[in-house]
């Protein structure tokens, strides 16, 4: 029988009490892995009440004890590493190597959160006036919520909940309605790690569940990762209800290639950036701006590499490009390919037609001689489609990059320190790479999207996340 998922509220696993059920298919086979119940409004209310009830005792738990639970959680993830990675592959479709990388990056955030005794430290200044001392201390917010996307079902929840919990908050997780199974396993491991009942809660659902969290007066802060339109909605709605918000949005990431690049290594980096995770990531390189005479050689190398990427199920060790998440998403990406052709781009490598009729497969697709005004050069496709634009020089290339409404990532490939420095200081993106295809920050740095790729003030991960999940209290003391 197909498994029906449950919600985790107040330390117990609960059935939904809802007639709205959603099948979760394996993207590689179409086989139904589980059935997900959507939370009712009363279940969201119960989750907030459970979190609010658990918060005072958790807040008063010494920070070193909270950190020890995170250490145990980290160890459990290490012990169950392969199983969690396989869950990611089963429900998302990415290769086991990509899933393993995702779980590893999530564990790194837990390791960062284990430093909460240091990260939570405040500041003291004696004698701000005669006989008067002042200090700043950090305090947790209370009940906070995380709303996650489908493309990283392990890593994105782990961006949020370890820091939030270590800082003393109670947490409600709403995983993607497309990939909820991994989140259930994370909840089980948190329970095994000894987290007190009600400190972590899990509710499934889609827009109605999200709206209930965004508008609930008991939720102090919301962390979101997803598409640009939804990020704008989440930010506006939650902020209008008085909440602290970080909303990580969509992207259109540009990779600038200079004539003096190391062609072989540049090609390898671009292929990994554009087609890793089937292009379903907000740091995927989706537009190459190639400068000068290297263009023909680069396009030929990219065509050769893209055409030889092996498409298949993620659990097959020979697979290099897994399926996209759903049939509807496959149709959407194919629609962009057809639009690129209609607008006059040159299709160098066509990934259509590789599906076996069951899985949602699309091969690596490469366009050359793309014009900046084309949809495939401007809009986030979120699939294995790469566009090449030709530019005359670095200034022209940077104008193309900076005209984008998004500002997540931009990378340059060059041997010139001068050009790299010009790029890194003038490009309008929050995460910049020099001779790397995916400029993903480590856990102790912020995931620093700019412009339309981020809504809020404090980013995910790093010290920004500690700032986001705490507020400062200033204490002024005088003794007679």
The catalytic residue positions are 282
Q: Are 394 and 285 in contact (CB under 8 A)?
A: no
Helices (H), 343-409: 375-378, 394-402
Number of Cα atoms under 13 Å in the Cβ half of residue 196: 20
What is the three-class DSSP state of 204? Answer: coil
CA–CA–CA angle 93, 99, 102 (5° rounding): 130
DSSP string, 259-316: TTS-HHHHHHHHHHHHHGGGG-STT-EEEEEEEGGGHHHHHHHHHHHHHTPPB--TTS
Q: Are 385 and 349 in contact (CB under 8 A)?
A: no
Q: Are 368 and 350 in contact (CB under 8 A)?
A: no
Going through 156-292 in order, the beta strands assigned E by DSSP cover 170-174, 200-202, 221-225, 244-248, 253-257, 285-291
Cα–Cα distance measured from residue 127 to residue 138, given in angstroms and rounded to the nearest whole number: 21
The helix-helix angle for 181-192 and 155-166 (nearest 10°) equals 30
The DSSP element (H or E) to which 249 belongs, if any, is none
Chain centroid to CA 16: how far?
27
Cα–Cα distance measured from residue 430 to residue 382, given in angstroms and rounded to the nearest whole number: 19
The C-alpha torsion from 122 through 128 and 131 to 137, rounded to 10°, is: -20
What is the three-class DSSP state of 52? Answer: helix
The helix-helix angle for 41-59 and 207-215 (nearest 10°) equals 50
Helices (H), 412-480: 417-426, 462-468
Q: Pick the closest to residue 224 from 453, 70, 54 (CA basis).
A: 453
């Amino acid at each position: 029988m197909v498994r029906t998922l449950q919600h985790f509220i107040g330390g117990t696993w609960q059935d939904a009490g809802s007639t709205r059920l959603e099948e979760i298919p394996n993207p590689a086979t179409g086989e139904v892995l589980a059935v997900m119940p959507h939370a009712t409004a009363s279940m969201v209310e119960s989750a907030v009440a459970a979190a609010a009830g658990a918060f005072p005792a958790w807040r008063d738990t010494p920070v070193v004890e909270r950190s020890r639970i995170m250490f145990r959680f980290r160890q459990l993830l290490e012990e169950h590493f392969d199983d969690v990675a396989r869950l990611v592959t089963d429900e998302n479709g990415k290769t086991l190597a990509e899933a393993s990388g995702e779980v590893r990056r999530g564990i790194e955030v837990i390791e960062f959160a284990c430093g909460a005794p240091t990260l939570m430290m405040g500041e003291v200044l004696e004698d701000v006036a005669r006989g008067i001392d002042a200090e700043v201390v950090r305090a947790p917010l209370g009940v906070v919520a995380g709303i996650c996307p489908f493309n990283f079902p392990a890593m994105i929840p782990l961006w949020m909940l370890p820091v939030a919990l270590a800082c003393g908050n109670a947490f409600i997780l709403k995983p993607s309605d497309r990939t909820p199974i991994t989140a259930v396993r994370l909840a089980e491991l948190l329970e095994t790690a000894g987290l007190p009942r009600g400190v972590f809660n899990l509710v499934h659902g889609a827009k109605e569940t999200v709206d209930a969290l965004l508008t609930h007066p008991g939720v102090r802060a919301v962390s979101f990762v997803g598409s640009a339109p939804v990020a704008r909605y989440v930010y506006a709605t939650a902020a209008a209800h008085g909440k602290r918000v970080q909303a990580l949005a969509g992207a259109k990431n540009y990779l600038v290639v200079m004539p003096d690049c190391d062609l072989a290594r540049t090609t390898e980096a671009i292929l990994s950036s554009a087609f890793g995770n089937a292009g379903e990531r907000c740091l995927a390189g989706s537009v190459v701006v190639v400068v000068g005479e290297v263009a023909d050689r680069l396009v030929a190398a990219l065509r050769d590499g893209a055409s030889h990427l092996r498409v298949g199920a993620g659990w097959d060790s020979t697979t290099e490009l897994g399926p996209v998440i759903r049939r509807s998403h496959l149709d959407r990406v194919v629609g962009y390919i057809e639009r690129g052709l209609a607008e006059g781009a040159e299709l160098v490598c066509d990934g259509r037609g590789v599906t076996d009729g069951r899985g949602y497969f699309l091969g690596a697709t490469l366009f050359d001689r793309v014009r900046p005004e084309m949809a495939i050069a401007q809009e986030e496709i979120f699939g294995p489609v790469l566009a090449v634009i030709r530019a005359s020089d670095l200034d022209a290339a940077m104008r193309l990059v900076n005209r984008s409404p998004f500002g997540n990532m931009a990378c340059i490939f060059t041997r010139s320190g001068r050009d790299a420095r010009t790029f890194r200081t003038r490009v309008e993106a929050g995460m910049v790479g020099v001779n790397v295809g995916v400029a993903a920050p480590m856990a102790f740095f912020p995931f620093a999207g700019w412009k339309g790729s981020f809504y809020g003030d404090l980013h995910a991960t790093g010290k920004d996340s500690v700032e986001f999940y705490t507020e400062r209290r200033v204490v002024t003391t005088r003794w007679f």
